[in-house]
Amino acid sequence: MGQTGWVTTTPATAAATVPAAAGRRPRRWLRWSVRAVALALALATLWVGSVTFRIWWTARQDARPVSDAIVVLGASQYNGVPSPALQARLDHARTLYEQGVAPLILTTGFKQPGDVHTEASAGRTYLIEHGVPASAVLALPVGGDTLESLRAVRAEFASRHLNSAVIVTDPWHSFRSAVMARDLGLQVATSPTRSGPVVSSRGIELRYIIRETGAYVYYRLTGTSPDSGITTF
């Protein structure tokens, strides 16, 4: 009798093929899991890299559109005297005011534990002492971080029916500040200071870019602001 071409599977051969097929499935699942994790890490790395680039790019922009107000974000003060970082911001805001960018300057920032003066009041006093009319400077002594300060600005804008602002802060802080402000519904441009200790060396610039990258990622993940936007110089 000739061969018919049919293959007879015995119990022994069936038992041998089942474990082999079962073993391939876990290996295949493991390969796809590794690829998925690698892809996620690559995308996360690209996103963080794009954040760093946008911080660097925004730091080099200087927009001065005619606006309702100039907002100076707070930095350290010492017994009512602005720190070098805050002084650089205030001097830049005064220049913008004198150029007619806006008729009003808002200084922001609360105080550290044990302080008598707030960053906002120290900033207002400094501007008045350097020729800005008192009627043109408003202190908003609210907010221990960037987001809280910008919320105070939003409330003040709403009460005064203001719409647009130019934010004055350090170059590396400009991107995150603008994103936060726009998330709050504010219409803003950024005009960072070009003087002060935060731009005194490449090493300091790199340190602040890295720190601001982490602060922005933290903000996007949590919706809150770390204190890293406030300089300690």
Q: Is residue 37 part of a domain?
A: no
Read off the DSSP letter of residue 146.
Answer: H
Rg, the chain, Cα only: 28
Residue 222 lies in a domain: yes
| Domain carrying residue 183 | 59-229
Instruction: Please check whether residue 52 lies inside any domain of the structure.
Output: no
Token code pair at residue 36: 């998925």
- Please report whether residue 92 resides in a domain: yes
Secondary element (H or E) of residue 71: strand 69-72
The Cα–Cα gap between 192 and 171 comes to 5
pLDDT band at 232 (very low <50, low <70, confident <90, very high): very low
Q: Are 72 and 123 in contact (CB under 8 A)?
A: yes
Record the pTM. 0.79
Cα dist from 67 to 98, 100, 186, whole Å: 13, 9, 12
Indicate the number of domains in the chain.
1
Domain for residue 109, yes or no?
yes
CATH number, domain with residue 176? 3.40.50.620
Are 67 and 166 contacting, i.e. CB atoms less than 8 angstroms apart? yes
161-192 confidence digits (pLDDT tens): 999 999 999 999 999 999 999 999 999 999 99
> What whole-number distance in Å separates Cα of residue 107 and Cα of residue 90?
9
Assess if residue 7 is contained within a domain. Answer: no
Q: What is the mean pLDDT of residues 97-124?
A: 91
**Number of C-beta neighbours around residue 184 at 10 A:** 15
Q: What is the mean pLDDT of residues 53-77?
A: 93
The answer to whether residue 114 is domain-embedded is yes
Per-residue model confidence as pLDDT tens digits over 196-213:
888 878 888 889 999 999
User: CB-based burial of residue 101 (10 Å sphere; 0-12 exposed, 13-18 middle, 19+ buried)?
Assistant: buried
Contacts of 141 (CB under 8 A, 6+ apart): 108, 109, 110, 111, 118, 119, 120, 121
